[in-house]
Structure 1
Amino acid sequence: MDEQTIEAYSTGASRFAAEWRDQPPPADMYALLLRYFAPGGKTADIGCGSGRDVAWLNEHGFPAVGYDAAEGLLEQAATAFPSLVFKRDALPALDSIGAQTYDNVLCETVLMHLPAEEVPRACARLFDILRPGGTLYLSWRVTESVSTRDGAGRLYAEFDAARVREGLGDMTLLLDTETVNLSSGKRVHRLIARRR
Structure 2
Amino acid sequence: MTDADFLTATRTFYDAVADDYAEHFRDPLAALPLDRAVLTAYAELVGEGGKVADLGCGPGRVTGYLAARGLSVYGLDLSESMLAIARRENPAIRFEQGSMLDLDGHADGSLDGVVSYYSSIHTPVEELPALFAEFHRVLTPGGHLLLAFQAGDEPRRHDRPWGHPVALDFLRRRPETMAGLLTSAGFDVRVRTVREPDPDRGENVRQACLIARKP
Q: Is TM > 0.5 for Structure 1 vs Structure 2?
A: yes
User: Which of 162, 187, 193 is the aligned partner of 2:177?
Assistant: 162
CA-atom RMSD in angstroms? 2.3
Runs of 4+ residues over 3 Å off in structure 1: 158-161, 180-186
Give the TM-score of the pair, scaled to structure 1.
0.87
The range that moved more, 158-167 or 134-143, is: 158-167
Q: Shift of the alpha carbon at 1:193?
A: 0.6
Label 1:91 to 1:24 Cα distance change in 2 as closer, same or farther (>3 A): closer
Equivalent position amino acid for 1:174 in 2: R
- Matched residues in 2 for 1:95 and 1:148: separation? 31
1:5: which partner in 2? 10
SS across alignment from 1:105: strand
Aligned residues: 195
Q: Distance in 2 between matches of 1:101 and 1:120?
A: 20
Counterpart of 2:164 in structure 1 is none
Residue 43 of structure 1 contacts residue 65 of structure 1 at CA under 8 Å; is this kept in 2?
yes
Q: Is the 8 A contact 2:83 2:95 kept in 1?
A: yes
Question: Corresponding residue for 1:194?
Answer: 213
Identical pairs, percent: 26
Equivalent position SS for 1:150: strand
- Contact 2:195 2:207 (C-alpha < 8 Å) held by counterparts: yes
Gaps of at least 5 residues in structure 2 are 162-166
Structure number with greater Rg is: 2
Over 3 Å counting, the alpha-carbon distance change for 1:175 and 1:163 in structure 2 is: closer
Deviations 1:114-140 (A, max 9, x none): 112111211111111111000111011
Change (3 A) 1:33 1:166: same
In 1, Cα distance between equivalents of 2:179 and 2:97: 23
Distance 1:28 1:5 in 2: 28
Task: Specify whether residues 195 and 84 from structure 1 end up closer, same or farther in structure 2 by C-alpha distance, changes over 3 A only.
Answer: same
Instruction: Give the corresponding residue for 2:132.
Output: 123
* Whole-angstrom distance in 2 between the partners of 1:104 and 1:28: 20
Which of residues 21, 25, 31 is equivalent to 1:16?
Answer: 21
Alignment-mate amino acid for residue 100 of structure 2: L
Map of 2:158 onto structure 1: 150
Q: Which one of 77, 87, 95 corresponds to residue 86 of structure 2?
A: 77
Task: List aligned pairs for 1:1-196, cutoff 5 A.
Answer: 2=6, 3-25=8-30, 26-36=32-42, 37-40=45-48, 41-145=50-154, 147-151=155-159, 152=161, 153-160=167-174, 161-163=176-178, 165-168=180-183, 169-180=185-196, 185=203, 186-196=205-215
What letter is aligned with 1:38? V
Cα displacement (A) at 1:45 = 0.6
Please give the per-residue CA displacement for 1:148-176, whole angstroms capped at 9, x wherever unaligned: 42124122235444255325522221112
Letter in 2 for 1:13: A
Partner-residue secondary structure (3-state), 1:14: helix
* TM-score of the aligned structures, taking structure 2 as reference length: 0.80
Q: Is the 8 A contact 1:55 1:81 kept in 2?
A: yes
What displacement does 1:184 show? 6.9
- Taking the aligned partners of 2:85 and 2:29, their CA distance within structure 1 comes to 19
Distance in 2, matches of 1:178 and 1:76, equals 30
